[in-house]
Amino acid sequence: MLRRTLILPTVFLALVALSGCAVDPVPEPSATTTPTTTPAAATSPLNCDDIAAPGDIANIFVDSAGTVPTPVAATQPSTFLVEYAVSALGGLSCSWRVGTAAGNPMDHQSDSDWAYLSVKVLPDAADSWAPSDAGNGPADPLTSIGGIEAATGCGDPGCFISAPVGDAWVEITMSLDSFGTRDERFDGMTSDEIVAQMTPLAASVYSTLTDAEPSQLAWPAVDLTPREPACTGALKPQGIAMALGVGSIEYEIFDSSNMNPVYFDGFVSESAGIFRCDVRGDGVLGTYIHVGYGLAGIVDTMIPEPDSQAALTPIVLEGAVDGEHAVQVCADSGYCTVIFSLGESAYSVESVSQAVAVAEAIIAQAR
């Protein structure tokens, strides 16, 4: 891992006292005025413009030739509910892109040049932070950034800086198309050099969060009711088996509660109650159902994102009612994912050939 020496700008505060002299004679005031004090305005929560300066964002994407691109605010399209869940937990999620939008997240184009930077802040999570290398193991040694010990590193799909800041877990990641294989944006640069370009932004984010008032870190959250993961209710095996055209199925449940060490996405999944039901049965190939109770709003969040609009196709599912939404994305192989809202909850279904049928079976069994 990397050790960095950062030279941080120091903020100087100057108090200038102004004084003057009175000129005689001084007229008597016609009335006595009692000074009033105007209460300080309430401080709004930080937004993405507050958390990261445009120059720091652009400098992360500087290539080996020194070219500085112009990033745009954009979210990388994804088929995973967890990628959209930070805001639902009362956190802040910001992201920017350079290059052409990623497009279909299930297919990689040979001429892709995209890179996405994300900054995610999850309050009340610092005590759960672990210096894990994107879930692959402990990151050691740590890197001091602005006086805060952070885990840093690179691998598939890019580079990351992760640290506990105050009571928050802060995850800064840069993802690239085919990092380390055919990526051309940082051709000729080492992983150390790429992470070094990320550290000034990390230092600035840490400073902003450390100096913030509590009200600036109070983002809205969804009121979630904790539930034990269970592939029941709308996932009753009978209806799902019929949708898949098989006689019977069983489920194997996966969640993040037993992962050690904990990595960021795993912690978000656990906190949001997102779990996965893997479908098992004769004749069943590659069918997985993700469930996020109370997270219907994240489907509404992903749909209007410009990059998602181009990558995730809106569809209408049989049985859906007004206010419920669904998108579908398929690979060239025919493997598809359907993401949809149902009542107050969010679901995603991955399947070789029956993603829509399974989604509609879930809706039917819920109603």
Asked if residue 160 and residue 85 are part of one domain, the reply reads yes
Tell me the one-letter amino acid at 219. W
Query: Is 16 a domain residue?
Result: no
Per-residue pLDDT tens digits for 205-221:
999 999 999 999 999 99
Question: Which residues form the domain of 260?
Answer: 233-366
What's the pLDDT score for residue 118? 97
Report yes or no: 197 and 59 within 8 Å, Cβ to Cβ.
Answer: yes
Distance, in Å, from the CA atom of 56 to the CA atom of 208, rounded to the nearest integer, reads 13
Which of these three, 217, 244, 269, is where a domain ends?
Answer: 217
In a domain, 270, yes or no: yes
Last residue of a domain, one of 187, 217, 247: 217
Same domain, 55 and 184: yes
Instruction: Output the pLDDT for position 23.
Output: 39
How many domains, the chain?
Answer: 2
Are 69 and 180 within one domain? yes
Q: Based on the domain organization, do 126 and 259 belong to the same domain?
A: no
- Separation between Cα atoms, residue 195 and residue 176, nearest integer Å: 13
Q: Phi and psi (nearest 5°) for 81?
A: -55, -35
Q: Are 61 and 71 in contact (CB under 8 A)?
A: yes
Beta-bridge partners for 254: 276
Q: Is there a single domain that holds both residue 187 and residue 265? A: no
96 and 164 share one domain:
yes
Residues 190 and 313 reside in one and the same domain: no
Closest by CA to 185, choosing from 211, 157, 216, is 157
Q: Is 288 inside a domain boundary?
A: yes
Q: What pLDDT sits at residue 106?
A: 85
User: What is the per-residue pLDDT for 222?
Assistant: 94
- E strands, the chain, where? 72-73, 92-98, 115-122, 143-145, 148-155, 158-165, 168-176, 250-254, 275-280, 288-292, 313-314, 326-330, 336-342, 345-351
Residues 188 and 260 in one domain: no
Would you state the pLDDT for residue 257? 81
**What was the pLDDT predicted at 289?**
98
Query: pLDDT value at position 30?
Result: 43
Under 8 Å CB-to-CB from 365, ≥6 apart: which residues?
233, 234, 235, 236, 239
Q: Cα 55 vs. chain centroid, distance in angstroms?
A: 21
Domain CATH number, residue 346: 3.40.1000
Final residue belonging to a domain, choices 182, 217, 252: 217
Ranges in the chain, pLDDT < 70: 1-42, 109-111, 133-139, 178-183
- Per-residue pLDDT, 310: 84
**pLDDT (tens digit, 9 = 90+) per residue, 264-285?**
999 999 999 999 999 999 989 8
* Dist CA 88 CA 300 (whole Å): 12
| pLDDT for residue 43 | 84
Q: Which three-class secondary structure state does DSSP give residue 171?
A: strand
Question: How high is the pLDDT of residue 68?
Answer: 94
Shared domain for 237 and 204, answered yes or no, is no
| Sheet of strand 288-292: strand arrangement | 250-254, 275-280, 288-292, 345-351, 336-342, 326-330, 313-314
